[in-house]
Amino acid sequence: MNLALFIPELTLAVFALLVILLDLFTEQKRLLVQVSVSGLVISAGVTLAMWGESFPAIFNNMLAVDNFALFFKLLLLGVAFLVILASISYTQKFARFQGEYYALVLLSTLGMMLMAATTDLIAIYIALELTSLSLYALVGFLKDSKSTESSLKYLLLGAIASVVLLYGMALIFGFTGQTQLGEIARVIQAMSPQTILSFPALTLGLVMLITGFGFKIAAVPFQMWVPDVYEGAPTPITAYLSVASKAAGFALILRVFFSAFGLPEWLSLNWGIIFAFLAVIGMTLGNIAAIPQTNIKRMLGYSSIAQAGYLLVGMAAMGFSPVVDILGRSSIIFFLTSYALTNMGAFIAIIAISNKLDSDLIDDYTGIGKRAPLVALALTLCLVSLIGMPPAAGFMAKFYIFSAAVRSNLLWLVIIAVINSVISAYYYLRVVNVMWLGKAASEEKISSPGTLRLGLVLSCLGVLLLGIIPGFAMLLAEFAARIFVF
């Protein structure tokens, strides 16, 4: 076992503990931010140094150290960095608990990094629970009635999803006698279709896996927690949930379903069909439910459900495509990257505005374009990207996802996705209309801290770069996805 390959995760664990200890002995809370950011930077530096190399799996083949895992580790560390930048001014709302807050952000990032690397059912469950327990606590940090209700609802529904997931894993273990994904694949490929179909345990186990993972990525019909949790959680944590949790969840789904159940092709076609129908329901329900929302965080919550539907289009394409075709897998990775930058930018802009207005109501954003033109411009760019319009990253992300689906003979699914994108334009552009064409209730300018502006600039630059010159990012995504080519 080579512990040097585990340094990125160990670094976050050590720095999370250091933040908690420092919080006991220092009144300079800025030091906690500096230590947290240092942990993220060091972890990212070590991860980047591993990129492109070939390493064996560690911990008895439970954790992979491949380019797929490294790509998502870097993405998750970048998201955590933006979340901490967005949290510096926001944490004044719970000033006594800043140490715990930053430590939990680091620990949840650690759990998500493990999710992207796990290749064993036992390790998958441990990584999921480490992530989930940290997020349950972070959602309730405001300690008011909405935040407490959100945390409790998230905890109860998350516990049910975890039980279902664990039971599905037990069925798959009972059927194959293995917990390692590669070994599960080997056992399944050695069996005839008649043998597999004569025992319903594998099918039921797959359905339960989809249910458990579906909760983590906010896919319909496992999305019932999203609007309330997004509204009640601290806004930086809402951004974190919508971006990092979804990215880690899809990284895990990609690895599990392709590594363990990618062959035989008739099996991948079956779960591809399931993901296709979940995509249709998710896109449609998420977009329609977002239209009447008056709270911008709830609106983006339903938007997140719809975006999960678009990502499931890529999963369906992956199930239908030949194993040598990596477009479906790389398009999902590119979409997650662009979505992470877009949603982080949108939520950072919301924090900048809501901190001044003390409101998340869309109507209260009236005339913000005159009071904070740069913040409003950044939010407009991010909303345009969520629609999927050029020159933002969302346009290229949807282009790649839809292209993969068309190549997999899923034109009907692409047509439904395009119609849903048109529907989504209504509620996204409504916010843009309110900000720029509405009459401001006050002429007072809205200022924001430098760290918040830095996070907003970094996010928006990423959205523009991925939209205008997506080639380099797509090459990285294809490089990461090549581990799934048999």
Tens of pLDDT along 429-452?
999 999 998 887 777 788 888 889
DSSP of 41-88, one letter per residue? HHHHHHHHHHTT-----BTTTTB--SHHHHHHHHHHHHHHHHHHHHHT
pLDDT at residue 416 above 80?
Answer: yes
Look at residue 94 and tell me if it is in a domain. no
Look at residue 466 and tell me if it is in a domain. yes
Look at residue 381 and tell me if it is in a domain. yes
Model confidence pLDDT, tens digit, residues 2-17: 788 999 999 999 999 9
Number of domains in the chain: 1
**Least confident segment among 222-226, 253-257, 320-324, 327-331:** 320-324
Q: What is the band of 486 on the pLDDT scale with cuts at 50, 70, 90?
A: very low
Model confidence pLDDT, tens digit, residues 224-270: 889 999 999 999 999 999 999 999 999 999 999 988 988 888 888 88
Look at residue 414 and tell me if it is in a domain. yes
Q: Compare 102 and 483 and report the one with higher pLDDT.
A: 102
pTM as predicted: 0.95
Q: HEC states along the chain?
A: CCHHHHHHHHHHHHHHHHHHHHHHHCCCCHHHHHHHHHHHHHHHHHHHHHCCCCCCCECCCCECCCHHHHHHHHHHHHHHHHHHHHHCCHHHHHHHHHHHHHHHHHHHHHHHHHHHHECEHHHHHHHHHHHHHHHHHHHCCCCCHHHHHHHHHHHHHHHHHHHHHHHHHHHHHHHHCCCEHHHHHHHHHHCCHHHHHHCCHHHHHHHHHHHHHHHHCCCCCCCCCHHHHHHHCCHHHHHHHHHHHHHHHHHHHHHHHHHCCCCCHHHHHHHHHHHHHHHHHHHHHHHHHHCCCCEHHHHHHHHHHHHHHHHHHHHHHHHHCCCCCCHHHHHHHHHHHHHHHHHHHHHHHHHHHHHHHCCCEHHHHCCHHHHCHHHHHHHHHHHHHHHCCCCCHHHHHHHHHHHHHHHCCCHHHHHHHHHHHHHHHHHHHHHHHHHHHCCCCCCCCCCCCHHHHHHHHHHHHHHHHHHHCCHHHHHHHHHHHHHHCC
Q: Please answer whether residues 206 and 253 qualify as being in contact, where contact means their C-beta atoms are separated by less than 8 angstroms.
A: no
Look at residue 474 and tell me if it is in a domain. yes
Q: What is the band of 78 on the pLDDT scale with cuts at 50, 70, 90?
A: very high
Look at residue 322 and tell me if it is in a domain. yes
pLDDT at residue 366 above 50?
Answer: yes
Look at residue 463 and tell me if it is in a domain. yes
Look at residue 239 and tell me if it is in a domain. no
Mean pLDDT of 458-462: 95
**Least confident segment among 46-60, 368-382, 395-409, 441-455:** 441-455
Q: Containing domain of residue 324, as a range?
A: 262-486
**Least confident segment among 143-147, 336-340, 431-435:** 143-147
pLDDT at residue 43 above 90?
Answer: yes
pLDDT the model gives residue 418:
96
